[in-house]
Amino acid sequence: MTRSAPLLPIAYSDEVTAAKERGAPLVALESTIITHGMPYPGNLEMARSVERIIREEGAVPATIAVIEGVLHVGLDDAELETLAQTAGAMKLSRADLAFAIAERRTGATTVAATMIAAARAGIRVFATGGIGGVHRKAEESFDISADLDELARTGVIVVCAGAKAILDIPKTLEVLESRGVPVVTYDSPDFPAFWSRESGLPSPLMLNSPAAIAHFQTVREQLGIDGGMLIANPVPEESEIPRREMEIYIQRALDHAERDEITGKAVTPYLLDTIFRLTDGRSLATNIALVENNARLAAEIAVALAI
Ligand code: PSU
Ligand code: MN
C-alpha cells in the first residue's frame, strides 16, 4: 500500500469555486483587519461592504482566514459574522500560518499570510488597508513586519493606502526598495500615509489606470521577475485626516504603547485601537473608507489582468 501525503485542509467558498471554474477575476482580502484592526460591529460592516464593492466591479471577493484548522479562501456571510465576533483569534503571519492549521486553531491572516494563501489559490490581487512596515525606533526594537519580506517573495499585487503613519515611512520605503518591491502610487505623486493622502515623501513610481498597472505586472512576468508589488492608493479627500493632525494622536498612542510595554504582534493592534479612541472613532471611519477605496481599485486591476 502506498501512502500519499494528506492534502492541505483548504476550503473554497461556493462563490470562489464558481469563479475559479469560469476564470473570473478574484480579489483576496485579509482578516486580521477584521479581528485585530477594528472593533465590532464596524469590522463586520467593513468586511461586508468591501465584498459588495468587489462584486459591483465585476470581480469575486475571497476573504482568507483559518477556521478550526482549515484554510478558508472565501467566507460565507455566517462565517464572516462569526469571525468578526471571535475574540481569541490568532494573528497569523508567515511564521505561524501552518502552525494554526496543524494545531486546528482559528486565526486571522495578516498581509503576509494572506499573500501566501492567495498565491496558493491562484489569486493575483489583494486589497487591504495598510501594510505592516518598519516601526519607529526599529533600530532598537528590530520590529520590522514580515509583510515586507513577503512582498519581496510572493507574486501578488497588494493594494493598500500606503504605510500607516505609526510606522517609520522612510525606513519602510528603503526596505521595500532594497528588496526589489515596486511601490506604485495610484494617480498621485505623493506616497500616502493611510489616514492622510500625503506622507511628505514622493512615491517611487506612479501609474494612473488599472490597465497600466496590469500591463506593468505583465512586463514583470515577461522578464521573469517574481515577487509582489505594492500599489498605494491615497484615501479619498473627503475622508482623510490631515497628517499634522494625525501626528498628534500617533505620538500619544506611541507614548501609551511604551508606557504599557507593548511588544511584538500586539503593537499594531494596540496602536490602532488607541488611535480609534483618541479620535473618537473618526480614524475608524477613515479606515473603512480607505479599505473600500482599495477594494474598488483591486477589483479593477483584477478585471484588467483578466482581459
Ligand atoms: N492595516 C489595517 N489594519 C490592520 C492591519 C493593517 O488597517 O489590522 C494588519 C495587517 O494584517 C498587517 C498587520 O499585515 O496589521 C501588520 O502587523 P505587524 O505590524 O505585526 O506585522
Ligand atoms: Mn511587528
Q: Output the CA 101–ligand 2 centroid distance in Å.
A: 22
Nearest one of 247, 277, 272, 285 to 169, comparing CA atoms: 247
% of the chain with per-residue pLDDT over 70: 99
Q: Which domains does the chain have, with CATH numbers?
A: 10-306 (3.40.1790.10)
The 10s digit of each residue's pLDDT in 87-119 is 999 999 999 999 999 999 999 999 999 999 999
The 10s digit of each residue's pLDDT in 120-168 is 999 999 999 999 999 999 999 999 999 999 999 999 999 999 998 789 9
| 30 Cβ below 6 A of ligand 1 | yes
Average pLDDT for residues 260-270, to the nearest whole number? 92
Averaged pLDDT of the chain: 96
For ligand 1, atom 20, name the residue with the nearest CA: 265
The pLDDT value recorded for residue 261 is 94
More confident residue, 1 or 256: 256
Q: Is 164 annotated in the active site?
A: yes
The pLDDT value recorded for residue 165 is 79
The 10s digit of each residue's pLDDT in 183-221 is 999 999 999 999 999 999 999 999 999 999 999 999 999
Secondary structure, 3-state, 137-161: CHHHHCCECHHHHHHHHCCCEEEEC
Tell me the C-alpha distance between 187 and 212, whole Å. 11
The 10s digit of each residue's pLDDT in 163-185 is 987 899 999 999 999 999 999 99
- State the catalytic residue, choosing from 15, 20, 30, 300: 30
In ligand 1, which atom is closest to the CA atom of 37?
8
| 228 Cβ below 6 A of ligand 1 | no
The pLDDT value recorded for residue 307 is 86
In ligand 1, which atom is closest to the CA atom of 160?
1
| 46 Cβ below 6 A of ligand 1 | no
Nearest one of 241, 242, 272, 246 to 257, comparing CA atoms: 272
The 10s digit of each residue's pLDDT in 24-78 is 999 999 999 999 999 999 999 999 999 999 999 999 999 999 999 999 999 999 9
For residue 92, give the H/E element and its range: strand 90-92
**For the whole prediction, is pTM greater than 0.90?**
yes
Q: Any idea what DSSP says for residue 55?
A: H
| 37 Cβ below 6 A of ligand 1 | yes
Going by the annotation, the residues of the binding site are: 91, 111, 143, 145-147
For ligand 1, atom 6, name the residue with the nearest CA: 130
| 111 Cβ below 6 A of ligand 1 | yes
Average pLDDT for residues 230-259, to the nearest whole number? 95
Going by the annotation, the residues of the binding site for Mn(2+) are: 143
Contacts (Cβ under 8 Å, ≥6 apart) of 89: 31, 35, 36, 65, 83, 106, 107, 108
- State the catalytic residue, choosing from 51, 164, 265, 300: 164
Nearest one of 143, 149, 141, 142 to 113, comparing CA atoms: 149
The pLDDT value recorded for residue 6 is 80
The pLDDT value recorded for residue 2 is 59
Average pLDDT for residues 292-296, to the nearest whole number? 98
Q: Is 137 annotated in the active site?
A: no
